[in-house]
Amino acid sequence: MNKGKVCVFGSFNLDIVAGMARFPKPGESLIARNSMMGAGGKGANQAVAALRAGARVHYIGKVGRDDFGMFARRHLDSAGFDAVTLFSTSECPTGNALIYVAGADAENMIAVDPGANLTVTDEEVEQCRPAVAAADILLTQLENNLPAIEKLIGIAKDNGTYIILNPAPFQPVSDHLLAQVDLLTPNATECTLLTGIDVRDIPSAGRAAHALHAKGIQALIITLGTQGALLSANGETQIIAACPATPVDTTGAGDAFNGALASQLAAGATLSDAAQFASAYASVCVERAGAATSMPTYEEARDRMGVAVV
């Protein structure tokens, strides 16, 4: 397959995950079924997904000068990326997340301390200009400080790099920023917060899509878990079916979808084909524990679909 270039700017977190029979109630202590520690953060997760789905990846992030930061460097150095730009600070810890995974559907609850992820400076962003200009796709999220995200998106816009914004975790953003993005990929909760429309299913997602297009967004994919996703672009909508899966851990599902989507668009796939591949890719991911460690290969997602996309 044709390997496109994806530049991922985003967070690195150290994830501490506990598997539970159910979520604890306030003030309650429960014994976990299991626990694990591993690499996470939406940026790092999506970068690994894009890589394993077939792209050449340049990851950009920031960590603290602490033990978790050393863990981050070892993980990123061994991941297989084309390039890594990792800034650091002694003023904040490396980002970290405490995650509960519980129940038959393997749903999750997450508490994140962003730490160093929120300290990216203008000067550090400016150092990334060549990497962004050389990429086919810039993929970013909202787990870093907004001024850095805005500046990086502006650099991508100036250089004709296709911009995917995954607005997670949600924070308020201006309509001006949204209008600069080529593709927006919110889930139902994020879409509700962006529009004020209660998004629960395909019809309500369609109404929210109309409202987002009115803000100047050209194309968007609203992910709806087991209901699939709604693709809306160029005045047309398409339902992207969810692939059947037996979930073990849904923590990395959205990151898997976004990374795989970026990899396929960078390789020249249509938006529709890329979204269908991303759906298959995410369905394989949720059948494994962990986030970055659960990302499948291109071949595994292709086999889940039955055919190759690119």
Q: What is the DSSP letter of 39?
A: E
The response to whether 228 counts as a known ligand-binding position is yes
The response to whether 43 counts as a known ligand-binding position is yes
Structure tokens, 295: 């990302």
The response to whether 144 counts as a known ligand-binding position is no
Write out the H or E segment, with its range, that includes residue 95.
strand 95-102
Beta-sheet strands, E only, within 193-275: 219-223, 229-233, 236-240
The response to whether 143 counts as a known ligand-binding position is yes
The response to whether 34 counts as a known ligand-binding position is no
Structure tokens, 245: 């899966």
User: Residue 173, class by beta-carbon neighbours within 10 Å (0-12 exposed, 13-18 middle, 19+ buried)?
Assistant: middle
The response to whether 290 counts as a known ligand-binding position is yes
The response to whether 29 counts as a known ligand-binding position is no
The response to whether 223 counts as a known ligand-binding position is yes
Q: What torsion do the CA atoms of 13, 19, 22, 23 make, to the nearest 10 degrees?
A: -20
Does residue 90 sit in helix, strand or coil? coil
Residue 255 annotated to the active site: yes
Write out the H or E segment, with its range, that includes residue 163.
strand 162-165
The response to whether 142 counts as a known ligand-binding position is no
* Catalytic residue (choose from 66, 82, 255, 273): 255
The response to whether 28 counts as a known ligand-binding position is no
DSSP β-bridge partners for residue 83:
58
User: Which residues carry a binding-site annotation for ATP?
Assistant: 187, 223-228, 254-255
User: Which residues carry a binding-site annotation?
Assistant: 13-15, 41-45, 143, 187, 223-228, 249, 251, 254-255, 285, 288, 290, 294
User: Which residues carry a binding-site annotation for substrate?
Assistant: 13-15, 41-45, 143, 255
Q: Just list the catalytic residues.
A: 255
User: Which residues carry a binding-site annotation for K(+)?
Assistant: 249, 251, 285, 288, 290, 294
